[in-house]
Structure 1
Amino acid sequence: MKLVILDRDGTINVDSDEFIKTPEEWQPLPGALEAIARLNHGGWHVAVASNQSGLGRGLFDVASLNAIHAKMHKAVAALGGRIDAVFYCPHSPDEGCQCRKPAPGLFEQIGERFGVDLRTAHVVGDTVRDLQAGAAVGCLPNLVLTGKGESLRGKPLPEGFPEGTRVHRDLAAFAEWLTARVPAPRAP
């Protein structure tokens, strides 16, 4: 199984220092949803791994988060794509859990759920912690220069990024690179 694990805020949708708390606040980045559909059409399954500390901070509830994800799923489906599963950490930063990125817990859950060797999976995110979490379980790291990654445009990667990190303009550029590199499986 070919798997791509995406961060959500700053990779798929516009990020906010005030947190994305409602479906109305969730707005896709230009070309990101089309990129997910392109990955799917190239034979890739897509999962999302997202820190959602707004839950632990009491800024929104699970019903609101589910409504945000329903909007995301519907928007991707309208373009002929799909997100196979969304995994999220509900904890605040001070809870010391194993699922908040850069800890690898969400990625371990994804590997178990899909029964896939994560050393063949790509992780895509806009922060070093996204890539560190994926690299801790062997994922191939890919940084997008959207969201928090925008501050790295035109600069060398600072220390802390996993070895072999590839840099892409945005999720669409990553999808173009990956689908051109690895052809879709052929029908028998």
Structure 2
Amino acid sequence: MINRSREMASPSEPQSRQARAVFLDRDGVVNEEVNYLRHADDFRLLPRSARAIRELRRAGFKVIVVTNQSGLARGYFSPEDLVAVHERMRSELARARTGLDGIYICPHHPDESCLCRKPGVLLFQQAAQELGLSLVGSYFVGDKLTDLTPGKALGGRTVLVLTGYGQREVEVAREQGFAPDHVAADLYAAAKWIIDEDSAGL
């Protein structure tokens, strides 16, 4: 069974008229990269990430985190630990006057060959069904190619950020012939590009 949680948009922020989303990886994109983040006390938002999420939601996008958390299957942390980390994330975003429209989690070990682990598309399809989204024209932001491959498959646009593992992945992308639609310094720079592209109707 896929473990997932969902956070509804706050009434003060507009709902997307076009029902499109910005899908974010979690570690290295929203928060600092920590190898198998086990404890809520180790959670740190990256600079400007809360501002990025706030501005994306104000622009009418739903903002959804989709994250592989194989540490659950490996026994590195418990479901309760993961809930505590996400409660910390919600709390810190709320202090910045924003939030998420959903958090979707793959808890499986890579060897399980599940359909929900990125680069699989199942969690994105699930979010689209539950939140009424059009995946075509949505945006996929991550620091690894596995975060972006689903976007290519689903007709979205992809942004590689240079935080987390992003610097390393630039070379991997070049070697594999994978071309993100944009490369951004961080989530805030990605958000600005997304909003500008959307405003221009590109």
Query: TM-score by structure 2 length?
Result: 0.83
> How far 1:90 sits from its partner (Å)?
0.2
Q: Are 1:6 and 2:24 an aligned pair? A: yes
Q: 2:60 is paired with a residue of what secondary structure?
A: coil
Which sections of structure 2, spanning at least 5 residues, go unmatched? 1-18
Q: C-alpha deviations, 1:3-33, integer Å up to 9, x for none? A: 100000111111123x101111111111111
Cα distance in 2, alignment partners of residues 6 and 129 from structure 1: 12
Instruction: Supply the distance in 1 between the matched residues of 2:109 and 2:87 (Cα, whole angstroms).
Output: 23
Displacement, 1:156?
8.8
Residue 186 of structure 1: aligned partner: none
Distance 2:135 2:107 in 1: 23
Which of these residues, 49, 60, 64, is aligned with residue 81 of structure 2? 64
Specify the alignment match of 2:38 in structure 1.
21
| 1:66-105 alignment runs, 5 A limit | 66-105=83-122
Q: Residue 173 of structure 1 corresponds to which residue in structure 2? A: 189
Q: Is the 8 A contact 1:131 1:161 kept in 2?
A: no
Correspondence for 1:108 among 125, 143, 154? 125
**Percent of residue pairs bearing the same amino acid type:** 36
Runs in 1 of length 4+ with deviation above 6 angstroms?
Answer: none
Number of the residue aligned with 1:44: 61
Q: Is the 8 A contact 2:142 2:161 kept in 1?
A: yes
- 8 Å contact from structure 1 (residues 52, 91) kept in 2: yes
Kindly indicate whether the alpha-carbon contact (under 8 Å) linking 1:128 and 1:161 is maintained by their aligned counterparts in 2: no
Matched residue pairs, number?
181
Deviation at 1:165, TM superposition (A): 2.5
Q: Could you say what the CA RMSD is over the residues aligned between the two structures, in angstroms? A: 1.8
TM-score by length of 1: 0.89
What is the identity, as a one-letter code, of the residue corresponding to 1:11? V
- Give the residue type in structure 1 aligned to 2:25: D
Segments of 5+ residues of structure 1 without an aligned counterpart are 184-188
CA offsets per residue over residues 126-155 of structure 1, 9 Å max, x none? Answer: 0001101232222211110110002256x6
